[in-house]
Amino acid sequence: MSRLHRNAGRGVGLMIFVALAACQGHGGAPAENPTRRALAAVDAARLTAADSEPGSWMSYGRTYSEQRYSPLARVNDKTVADLGLAWSHDFGTERGIEATSIVVDGVMYATSAWSIVHALDARTGKPLWRYDPGVAKAKAKHTCCDVVNRGVAVWEGQVFLGALDGRLIALDAATGAVNWEVATVDAALPYTITGAPRVIRGKVLIGNGGAEFGVRGFLSAYDAKTGKLVWRFYTVPGDPALGFENQAMAMAAKTWNGTWWELGGGGGTVWDAMAHDPELDLLYIGVGNGTPWNREIRSPGGGDNLFLSSIVALRPDTGEYVWHYQTTPGETWDYTATQHIILADLELDGKPRKVLMQAPKNGFFYVLDRTDGTLLSAENYIGVTWATHVDLKTGRPVEVPGARYEDKPFLVVPSYLGGHNWHPMSFNPDTGLVYIPVLDFGANYAQPENFRYRPGISNVGTHGILGSLPDSQAERNALRPLIKGRLVAWDPKTQKEAWRVEHKGSWNGGTLTTAGNLVFQGTADGSFVAYSADEGKPLWSFPAQTGIVAPPITYEIDGEQYVSLNVGWGGAFALVFGEFVQAKSLPNVSRVLTFKLGARGELPAVDWKPAVHFSPPQQTASAETLQKGFAEYSDVCMGCHGLNAVSGLLIPDLRGSGFLHDQAAWDSVVRDGALRDRGMAAFGDQVSPEESRAIRAYVIQQAWRAVDLQKNAEVAP
Ligand code: HEC
């Protein structure tokens, strides 16, 4: 049973922790007590000049340009073979790990699942303090894509955390004590925060997520000293009858139809990317998808629906709108433009240009003039089926007829997970290449049978086929090779691929590139790899024992260069695509791994088998009930428990659940929330007793399917 298997997993985690505690201090001489120095003493001067301080990693993308390029070169294509594990630190949390750590003044600030901050001695990994904001586990109900956090920001002695439940919290960098905290969202609404804050001139910028569920997106700026709200920029218009906050909203409202504000608020959350150009005095933000995804429902009759799927430039001091570029007008596929934004100076057609680059979910790589948002070029970085190209005159994609699935289903590539998701890319000014963690697969979209907006759960407004796999195992096996992932080196000047490395899995880590002619990336199947940046030659790898999705960083202390990475499997693909998850054969271990030249640390061996046993009760439900159960499961449960009830093993596989044997026990979990403190919220408000019975019947059906397949040895147990 899954419960037993999970407890077994926890035992292993504990053993690892004990074993590692015994080998702490790998880093040589004990570090000077970092609390004696001023910590996280980061200010505008220091952050703007981050390139002259390459030993630190002071903000999410290292510099305001978010290039994730490090000038450090002690570890390089000639020496990297000698890279070894210097220290590791177990987070002790069990869900997805996506964070970029900050390293400054000798201290690393890492975050793990459930928005927990870990301050560690960056040289030795010695824990200095740990801060748990105590997010109520039932809040997981409002997460589309795991209870992850992508990192903190630091400024003048404080560490800023956006907690999953929407709070922005300022911590004392030396002690982890709370200086102030504010609710950045209406706690009654399904907002979440997973993204890292940024700080510009004493203002802490924070967005939010929740557009699958139904919220109105915005970005806020808070005074770093006091926590006072300075400004807020909404990304989509509210109910016009209530008036608009500013001219930008009045302009945006002209591109919407219907009563979108009654369907949750339109969406457009700013859940990840931001970049800043201090010279131009602009802040760039990436805006997400609509609520629901399906424009036909969201804005009947069409419209571009600004500022969904757009890059918007704002004044960082006031939040005033300056310009926007919309990557996917009238988005209807969950094509967010929240993906990583990189600023660089490129020579194009013999002229130096200040550009902004993004590879959003929709499959095109965009190069914009960041002074005014003019589109300079756009080419697809994977094969796309929804548009033929981007017209440079109009700046708009030329759509393929039928791609909006108005009348019949359409196989859309990229899928709702994008050709590239939140996993940061990096830009190396020496090679001129951008290193993109690419996802390459499609999804079938269709109009829903009868959509109704349901508060508090996912409201994507597409047919249940999005949430399903074929019944036949042969067909599922045939899908497997179509679900691809790779590392792509992209030349933004020529808009062409320079080289690629195909991966076994599709949901791989973000990238780091360095002046040592290196690109680092972790993979779904648990390898941390260094490639040559110019040619993509694999030069070094380390078996991390667990799936990797987070991006690496590098820093230097006392002349020693370190490369560090947070490992641990998780995020949307890990939860939803259980059938195709490579990391299933690995345990999920959440930890920091830090490397340096000449180190020879080892991880303790793990003995782990992903055993799920199925012993479902008799099936007694009618075909009609099963159909209903399937639809309901896809709407409400699939996002966490996986397509067709096949779990990625981060969350229990319902087909092996003992609760299948008893409707009352099942309801105590599903409707009443008996496991709410473990991340399984109560769904009684959304799922009626009858619907709950139908879902259980559907899961029983899927469990019997697995039993039959195991008998016929078509799937590994
Ligand atoms: C936001 C994520 C999420 C969603 C959505 C979700 N679950 Fe869960 N569920 C969990 C987590 C996490 C657990 C594991 C809790 C634990 O560790 O005990 C769980 C556990 C369960 C269990 C107990 C399994 C066992 O044997 O331990 C059942 C039954 C269950 N969920 C049913 C459902 C059903 C039915 C739905 C849809 C109506 C649903 N869940 C939706 C996250 C989710």
Residue to mutate (ligand 1; options 2, 588, 641; most atoms within 8 A of CB): 641
Rounded Cα distance, 713 and 717, in Å:
8
Tell me how far apart the alpha carbons of residues 338 and 340 are, in angstroms, rounded to a whole number. 7
**Residue (of 27, 40, 47, 48) closest to 103 by Cα position:** 40
Dist. CA 620 → ligand 1 center (Å): 23
pLDDT band at 627 (very low <50, low <70, confident <90, very high): very high
Instruction: Please choose, from the candidates 40, 59, 33, 36, the residue with its C-alpha nearest in 3D space to the C-alpha of residue 48.
Output: 59
Q: Is residue 654 part of a domain?
A: yes
Question: Is the minimum distance from the CB of 3 to ligand 1 under 6 angstroms?
Answer: yes
> For residue 495, with 0-12 CB atoms within 10 Å meaning exposed, 13-18 middle and 19 or more buried, which class applies?
middle
412 Cβ contact list (under 8 Å, min separation 6): 333, 385, 386, 403, 405, 442, 443, 444, 445
Q: Does the CB atom of residue 641 touch ligand 1 within 6 A?
A: yes
Token pair for 281: 């005095």
Cα pseudo-dihedral 323, 190, 328, 634, rounded to 10: 180
pLDDT at residue 717, as a whole number: 44
Confirm or reject: Cβ of 337 under 6 Å from ligand 1: no
188 Cβ neighbours under 8 A, 6+ residues apart:
none
Contact 717, 611 (CB under 8 A): yes
Ligand 1 centroid to Cα of residue 680, in Å, is 5
pLDDT per residue over 26-68, tens digit each?
Answer: 333 334 454 456 899 999 999 999 999 999 999 999 999 999 9
Quick check: CB of 657 below 6 Å from ligand 1? yes
Ligand 1 within 6 A of CB of 669: yes
Q: Which of 83, 84, 87, 50 is nearest to 69 (CA)?
A: 50
Question: Are 633 and 645 in contact, with CB atoms under 8 Å apart?
Answer: yes
- Pick the residue whose CA is nearest to atom 2 on ligand 1: 640
Ligand 1 atom showing the smallest separation from residue 2 Cα: 26
pLDDT at 5 over 50: no
User: How far does the centroid of ligand 1 lie from the alpha carbon of residue 153, in Å?
Assistant: 32
On average, the pLDDT of the chain sits at 93
Cβ of 695 less than 6 Å from ligand 1: yes
Q: What is the pLDDT of residues 646-656, one digit of tens each?
A: 998 889 999 99
Sequence-separated (6 or more) residues with CB below 8 Å from residue 363: 380, 381, 382, 383, 384, 386, 387, 413, 414, 418, 419
Pairwise CA distance, residues 379 & 365, whole Å: 5
Task: Say if residue 234's pLDDT is above 90.
Answer: yes
**Does 291 fall in a domain?**
no
Could you read off the pLDDT of 415-441 as tens digits, one per residue? Answer: 999 999 999 999 999 999 999 999 999
Residue nearest atom 40 in ligand 1 by C-alpha distance: 637
In percent, how much of the chain has pLDDT > 70? 94
CA neighbor of 138 nearest in space, from 544, 674, 696: 674
Active site residues: 334
What is the distance between the alpha carbons of residues 370 and 11, in angstroms, rounded to a whole number?
Answer: 51
pLDDT(306) > 80: yes
Does residue 692 lie in a domain region?
yes
Closest residue by Cα to atom 9, ligand 1, is: 680
Q: For tokens 């590539």, what's the residue?
A: 413
- Cβ atoms of 161 and 177 closer than 8 Å: no
306's CB contacts (< 8 A; 6+ apart) are 236, 251, 252, 255, 256, 324, 326
Q: Given the CA of residue 575, which atom of ligand 1 is nearest to it?
A: 2
Q: Is 702 in the pocket of ligand 1 (CB under 6 A)?
A: no
State the Cα–Cα distance between residues 66 and 284, nearest whole angstrom: 11
Counted residue by residue, the chain has a size of 717
End-to-end CA distance of the chain: 12
Residue 119 main-chain phi, psi, to 5 deg: -95, 125
Say if residue 16's pLDDT is above 80.
no
Residue 714 confidence (pLDDT)? 64
pLDDT exceeds 50 at position 189:
yes
Nearest protein CA to atom 26 of ligand 1, as residue: 657
Asked if residue 101 belongs to a domain, the reply is no
Give the Å distance between the CA of 661 and the centre of ligand 1.
Answer: 15
Verify whether ligand 1 is closer than 6 Å to residue 638 (CB atom): no
Nearest-CA residue for ligand 1 atom 27 is 3
pLDDT at 12: 33
Count of CB atoms within 10 A of residue 658's CB? 14
693 touches ligand 1 (CB under 6 Å): no
Confidence category of residue 716, pLDDT binned at 50, 70, 90: low
652 CA distance to ligand 1 centroid (A)?
Answer: 7
In a domain, 17, yes or no: no
Q: Does this model's pTM top 0.85? A: yes
Residue pair 333/404 in contact by the 8 Å Cβ criterion: no
Q: Residue 2: what pLDDT?
A: 34
Q: Which atom of ligand 1 is nearest to the CA of 687?
A: 38
Q: Alpha-carbon dihedral of residues 498, 499, 502, 506, nearest 10 degrees? A: -40
Between the CA of 602 and the centroid of ligand 1 the distance, in Å, is: 35
Pocket residue to mutate for ligand 1, from 640, 688, 693, 699, most atoms within 8 A of Cβ: 640
Residue 607, pLDDT score: 80
What CATH number is associated with residue 625?
1.10.760.10
Which domain, by its residues, includes 656? 614-711
**Distance from Cα 697 to the centre of ligand 1, integer Å:** 15
* pLDDT over 90, % of the chain: 88
**pLDDT reported for residue 466:** 81
Which protein residue has the closest C-alpha to ligand 1 atom 3?
640
Residue 619 in domain: yes
Q: 165 CA to middle of ligand 1, Å?
A: 19
- Name the domain count of the chain: 1
Nearest protein CA to atom 12 of ligand 1, as residue: 679
CA within 13 Å, CB half, 107: 30
Q: Does residue 715 surpass a pLDDT of 80?
A: no
Which of 680, 687, 690, 699 is the pocket-test mutation for ligand 1 (most atoms within 8 Å of CB)? 680
Q: Is the pLDDT of residue 339 over 60?
A: yes
Is residue 579 included in any domain, yes or no? no
Which of 356-365, 371-380, 531-540, 601-610 comes out lowest in average pLDDT? 601-610
Query: Does 672 reside within a domain?
Result: yes
Ligand 1 touching residue 658 (CB < 6 A)? yes
Of 49-63, 248-262, 598-612, 628-642, give the lowest mean pLDDT range: 598-612
Ligand 1 in contact with 659 (CB < 6 A)? yes
Q: Which pLDDT value is given to residue 435?
A: 99
Among protein residues, the one with the nearest Cα to ligand 1's atom 42 is 680
Atom of ligand 1 nearest to the CA of 3: 27
Which one, of 644, 481, 656, 508, lies nearest residue 577 by Cα? 644
Q: Please work out whether the CB of residue 142 comes within 6 Å of at least one atom of ligand 1.
A: no
Query: Is 687 a pocket residue for ligand 1 (Cβ < 6 Å)?
Result: yes
Q: What is the CA radius of gyration of the chain?
A: 24
- pLDDT of residue 6 exceeding 50: no
**What's the rounded mean pLDDT across residues 374-378?**
98
CA of 641 to the centre of ligand 1 (A): 7
Q: How far is the CA of 405 from the centre of ligand 1 (A)?
A: 31
Poorest-pLDDT segment among 4-18, 199-213, 461-475, 617-631: 4-18
